[in-house]
Amino acid sequence: MADPVSLSLHDVHGFYGESHVLHGLSLDVVRGEAVSIIGRNGAGKTTMMRAIMGLLERRSGSIIVKGVETIVAAPERIARLGVGYVPEDRGIYSSLDVTENLLLPPRVGDDCMSLVDIYRLFPNLEERRRSQGTRLSGGEQQMLAIARVLRTGADLFLLDEPTEGLAPVIVQRICAAIVGMKEKGHTIVLVEQNVDVAAHIADRHYIMEHGRIIDLITRSELDARSDRLKSALGI
Amino acid sequence: MNAQVLFGQLLIGLINGSFYAMMSLGLALIFGLLGIANIAQGAFYMMGAFFTWMLLRWFNVGYFAALALVPIAIGVIGMAIERLLLARIYKLDHMYGLLLTFGILMLVQGLFVWLFATAGRPYPAPAALSGGFDLGFMFLPKYRVWVVFASLAFCLATWLVIEKTPLGRTLRAATENPMLTRAFGVNVPALMTFGFGVGVALAGAAGLLAAPIYSVSPIMGGDLIIVVFAVVVIGGMGSILGSIVTSLVLGLLEGATRVVYPQGANMVIFVIMIAVLLVRPAGLFGRER
């Protein structure tokens, strides 16, 4: 049996140029669970995701992905441990069409979805498979960003605000896709501002403020502590 | 006007345009992927011609074998230079890339002047490509026809690889967003080394094609690269086919100018460059960054 902890951050500090954004962040994600990271804008959620992917210029502390210390590893090496990243800006390439966007990331694990499976999950993408990636609607781009990492066989997914700015009916479809990923036993780290979406998907919710984790709410505590969750978001 | 003179000059223009196309394609590939305006491209062109000459002179290896060997040798030298020198300056301003590659050009050129002096050395066209066709209004040397087709073949092959293959897809992604592409598990630094190798191999191949036309000399690349930079500025960095077309058209225009107003032939491209910069600073096919 592999290490039950899929992702472990301990005392992580992260910097953008001179500005110190992550201040000793620690959290653990167990294999097969979904956790959400909740916090206001500027709390450091996206920076945390970028730190895990090795995309920050400077970071320190310890980030262990599936038992491997990655604090000094290059992004491509981290991805090849089986990590699928859906960035906040969706990261769709304008110089690639939809199919090329889907086929870009190399395989990083065994449990890969085929193009056929992906088109069954997101039929819109098949209709638009020859379109330039950035000509898709926001919702289609988000589906593409998620589909792209599902194809790689990753089993640890970092999803940075996958429902941001999307219409409710699209949000539902994205949610269903993420729940489907969880049911397959994949591990999910979800940054989310939409409390309903986070509550629907995640087993535990880390509250983040000023680059640190300040609280943890489990699914069973959610009803009793929903005010805490909302205040963390400033609602 | 004498038709023979006109067609003769247009043919020379077309051949020059073919060299501009191979050179500017390599430059565009390297600039897109590495963010470096590679002035040393001129040195790789010159080395391509010299290696071709050395192979024949010292090892009795002929033109067609050189056609396979020289681009590979130049590509390998390029990859070594990328790893040893260029890889250290990616985080710095573009200007450092320009200065470093200018230094490499001067160094390589100086080395060859020291070894071979500046006098040109003739290289015979291979027997299969000597002679020519008498078209009635002009004589068309076989080798020049070959050069135009061969360079177009190199350019189109490069275009096909970039637009239609998985490798090209990864190259385009790494050009557009290198960090994100790394986060998908693509080894972008290795891809940059490879891309630089391919870019300079194109220059080496151009040098090989040029050897039987121009005499092989250490300074042939330094002269050419200045004009090629102007061609790239005019065409812009946006489109591969755009830069090929720009190169051929400018070559022809240069040839036509040589007939109408010979004194202007050496500067017509620069005059066009100034005009394009005033109207479309990103170049004719370029996108604003």
The predicted-structure confidence for B237-268, as pLDDT tens digits, reads as follows 767 888 899 999 999 999 999 999 989 888 99
Question: Please, which pLDDT band fits residue A234 given cuts at 50, 70 and 90?
Answer: confident
Q: What is the pLDDT of residue B191?
A: 96
Task: Check if B239 contacts A (Cβ < 8 Å).
Answer: no
C-alpha to C-alpha distance for A226 and A77, rounded to whole angstroms: 38
Confidence of residue A2 (pLDDT cuts 50, 70, 90): low
- State the ipTM, two decimals: 0.93
Alpha carbon B156 to its chain centroid, in Å, reads 14
pLDDT surpasses 90 at B101: yes
Residue B168 in contact with partner chain A when CB distance is under 8 A: no
A85 CB neighbours in chain B (<8 A) are: 183-184
What is the Cα Rg of chain B in Å?
A: 19
Of A75, A80, A93, the CB nearest to B179: A75
Q: What is the pTM of this model?
A: 0.90
- % pLDDT > 70, chain A: 99
Nearest residue in B to A157, CA atom: B184
Per-residue H/E/C for chain B: CCHHHHHHHHHHHHHHHHHHHHHHHHHHHHHHHHCCCCCCHHHHHHHHHHHHHHHHHHHCCCHHHHHHHHHHHHHHHHHHHHHHCHHHCCCCCHHHHHHHHHHHHHHHHHHHHHHHCCCCECCCCCHHHCCEEECCCCEEEHHHHHHHHHHHHHHHHHHHHHHHCHHHHHHHHHHHCHHHHHHCCCCHHHHHHHHHHHHHHHHHHHHHHHCCCCCECCCHHHHHHHHHHHHHHHHCCCCHHHHHHHHHHHHHHHHHHHHHCHHHCCCHHHHHHHHHHHHCCCCCCCCCC
Q: What is the percent of chain B where pLDDT is above 70?
A: 98
Inter-axis angle of helices B142-164 and B188-210, to 10 degrees?
Answer: 170
Query: For residue B288, what pLDDT is reported?
Result: 60
Closest residue in A to B174 (Cα) is: A93
Q: Are A190 and A202 in contact (CB under 8 A)?
A: yes
Strands A68-69 and A58-65, bridge-based pairing: antiparallel
What value does the CA radius of gyration of chain A take, rounded to a whole number of Å?
17
Chain B residues within 8 A of A87 when measuring between CB atoms = 180, 183
Look at B173 and A152 and tell me if their CB atoms are within 8 Å.
no
Q: Give B15: exposed, middle or buried? Use CB within 10 Å, 0-12, 13-18, 19+.
A: buried
**How many CB atoms are located within 10 Å of the residue B236 CB?**
21
Which tens digits make up the pLDDT trace of A89-147? Answer: 999 999 999 999 999 999 998 888 889 999 999 999 999 989 998 899 999 999 999 99
Q: Using the predicted structure, report yes or no on whether residue B18 has a pLDDT greater than 90.
A: yes
Q: What angle do CA A95, A98, A101 make, to 5 degrees?
A: 65
CB < 8 Å to A112, chain B: none
In sequence order, the β-bridge partners of residue B132 are B141
Q: Which of A76, A87, A94 sits opposite B182 (nearest CB)?
A: A76
Residue B147 has pLDDT above 70, yes or no: yes
- The token pair at B33 is 């992927």
Judge whether B163 is closer than 8 Å to chain A, CB to CB. no
Q: What is the pLDDT of residue A111?
A: 81
* Shortest Cα distance, chain A CAs vs residue B216, angstroms: 39
Q: And the tokens for B16?
A: 């020059």
Q: CB distance A76–B187 less than 8 Å?
A: yes
Count residue pairs from A and B with Cβ separation < 8 A.
Answer: 63
Task: Check: CB of residue B40 under 8 Å from CB of residue B101.
Answer: yes
Grouping H, G, I as helix, E, B as strand and the rest as coil, residue A219 is helix
Confidence of residue A17 (pLDDT cuts 50, 70, 90): confident
Tokens for A153, please give them.
Answer: 């066989």
With cut-offs at 50, 70 and 90, classify the pLDDT of residue B66. very high
In three-state secondary structure terms, A200 is helix
Which residues in chain A have Cβ-Cβ distances shorter than 8 Å to B91? none
Q: Is the pLDDT of residue A1 over 60?
A: no
Residues of A in contact with B169 (CB under 8 A): 96, 100, 103-104
More confident residue, B131 or B149: B149
Give the separation between CA A71 and CA A51, rounded to whole angstroms: 9
Contact at 8 Å (CB) between A42 and B153? no
Inspect the interface and report whether the beta carbons of A76 and B188 lie closer than 8 Å: yes
**What average pLDDT does the segment A62-91 reach?**
95
Look over chain A and give the mean of its residue pLDDT values, rounded to a whole number: 92
Instruction: Tell whether A94 is within 8 A of chain B (Cβ).
Output: yes
Q: Do B185 and A80 touch (CB under 8 A)?
A: yes
Burial class (CB in 10 A: 0-12, 13-18, 19+), B257: buried
Please report the pLDDT score of residue A3 as a whole number: 62
Cα pseudo-dihedral A115, A121, A122, A125, rounded to 10: 10
Cα-based angle B37, B39, B42 (whole degrees, multiple of 5):
140
- Closest C-alpha among B139, B174, B169 to residue B11: B139
Going by C-alpha positions, the residue among A187, A177, A190, A129 that lies closest to residue A155 is A187
